[in-house]
Structure 1
């Protein structure tokens, strides 16, 4: 019970801190430089410059029908933290807006603002909340259009807002800087959510799997697991090597495979997070 209360308090502190970061990124960097970084926030920034209506208030107004639809479909329990994050960040945006831009350089503003927003959204996601807007829209659209990839929906939505900002402000540079902000925000968000392990997963199918495995363990000092497989065309039973390693070990691993068997079949895949011996502990915290 005490642990549950403590965790909830920590989550509230993280959401509060993250909302402040989000508000700083919007009110002190992006909004005063007319940079609309996609999503509902980008739409709110455009409307702010069109009408003078405060960005934070517009974010809440745009989100009201979105949140009502989400609550109707999924229930309110899932969105209590999101509603709190949305309300707090919007109020903070309005409170910080009078301070104005900390820099008028659009490149510095887009980079700094995007880093702050990406960090903030990542932290909010980590505690099971969102900032509403596009995240909820995507969730709703996926109910009906399951065949469409989530990333494609985000890309279309953000792209539309960025292009709209360029048209409204009649400045292609503004749209390009906003596009840079969208990309940086996505990269920072991924780093916060998935870490920087940079691990690689290697699968090797070879007639010399024992020799390759022995060299992997001796020269790279990594573990190797053999999986059982069967060729669909030949019906031949094969042993498949499975190995996780740091990305800096990859060149030597490829060299070993090439030296032992030039005809070996090798698949290399990225792994965002790897837990266990040689990597992170299972009880480790990303932040």
Structure 2
């Protein structure tokens, strides 16, 4: 059998799928900004958050256009630090997203004047005006933007901006990726408070400027949690420590019924001073109740500790990440 012939189509499919997900994620993120973030002057960090701030000073320039202005130098840094392949993905994603945002903005607003004002009552004829529920709006926007960013980052690319800053902080300072984004975005939020909240550069302070800053912080936090969810997943493995006098039966259950391995750890009882063997077992969350019920049948007097195993690498679990692979936590 020609193994190479079988692998090549699979590799080609993976390549196309990766690029599709990158552009799909960029589109989702761009839609989140245009529909739920930009019209309400939320400043959720990033180059587009800074674009919102600057759009208030220069309303004739669209938010996406400011994205191009900031992304170009950051993309060059990404290409130098993370390599040509990574840089190519970042360049195309970062070039596509602002353009998509500008086009979508012109589609959902009726006139050039409406594009400059970004008045939500004019967007889609007012059918998506959520001005009376800004908390719900910022949460929806944060989830949509976070999903889009998470999809892109899972393909080892970024949408530019503070994504690159977060990666640089992770690579050179050992700071978590999502935390790095949070720190970089904090500066942008403060800029939004000064320009939109205090009116510096616009001559007119927003009546609810302080509240907009709080909504922006909520947006950043929710977005970072959604990204972390998409990168690491929500369901952790479970780590069990089992102490029992019926090791043979438990061993048989683990190896034969569950088809898993486990490890014996040496221990000693503090009160009895007896040497004991502790079974060290990692299972999925779905298997916890099965193991608990079986151990109770085998030895009702067994002592079992169940705790979260945040990440598990090795056979049967996740592969070890590459050196430059992005991790949310």
Q: Do the two structures share a fold, i.e. TM-score over 0.5?
A: yes
Alpha-carbon distance in structure 1 between the residues aligned to 2:282 and 2:259: 6
Range moving further from structure 2, 153-162 or 40-49: 153-162
2:139 is aligned to 111
CA shift at 1:248, angstroms? 9.2
Please tell me whether the aligned partners of residues 22 and 93 of structure 2 are also in contact (alpha carbons under 8 angstroms). yes
3-state DSSP of counterpart to 2:262: strand
8 A Cα contact 1:224 1:241, kept in partner: no
When residues 185 and 144 of structure 1 are mapped into structure 2, their CA distance, relative to the original with a 3 A threshold, is closer
The answer for the alignment partner of 1:284 in structure 2 is none
186, 191, 212: which one aligns with 1:159:
186
Q: 1:192-211 to 2 correspondence within 5 Å?
A: 192-196=230-234, 198-204=235-241, 206=243, 208=245, 210=247
Instruction: List alignment gaps of at least 5 residues for structure 1.
Output: 280-287
Per-residue Cα deviation, 1:104-161 (whole angstroms, up to 9, x for no partner):
2322321221122111112212323211111212333344424x44443222222333
The count of residues paired between Structure 1 and Structure 2 equals 270
When the two chains are superposed, the root-mean-square deviation of aligned CA atoms in Å is 3.8
Q: What does residue 188 of structure 1 align with?
A: 226
13-22 or 241-250: which moved more?
241-250
From the superposition, tell whether residues 239 and 4 of structure 1 become closer, same or farther in structure 2 (CA, over 3 Å): same
Q: 1:125–1:139: structure 2 CA closer, same or farther, 3 Å change rule?
A: closer
Partners in 2 of 1:46 and 1:9 — Cα distance?
Answer: 36
Task: Tell me how far 1:70 sits from its aligned partner.
Answer: 2.3
Structure 2 unaligned regions, length at least 5: 1-7, 110-119, 121-127, 198-208, 318-329
Normalised by the size of structure 1, how large is the TM-score? 0.76
Residues 236 and 309 in structure 2, CA contact (< 8 A), matched pair in contact too: yes
Is the alpha carbon distance of 1:142 and 1:114 closer, same or farther for their aligned partners in structure 2, counting shifts above 3 Å? Answer: closer
Correspondent of 1:229 among 240, 254, 265: 265
User: After the TM superposition, which of the residue ranges 83-92 and 164-173 deviates more from structure 2?
Assistant: 164-173
The CA deviation at 1:3 is: 3.3
- TM-score by length of structure 2 reads 0.67
Provide, for residues 195-243 of structure 1, a one-character-per-residue CA deviation record: whole Å limited to 9, x for no partner.
44x24412315354739948x97xxx967743133469x9x67333314
Max Rg structure:
2
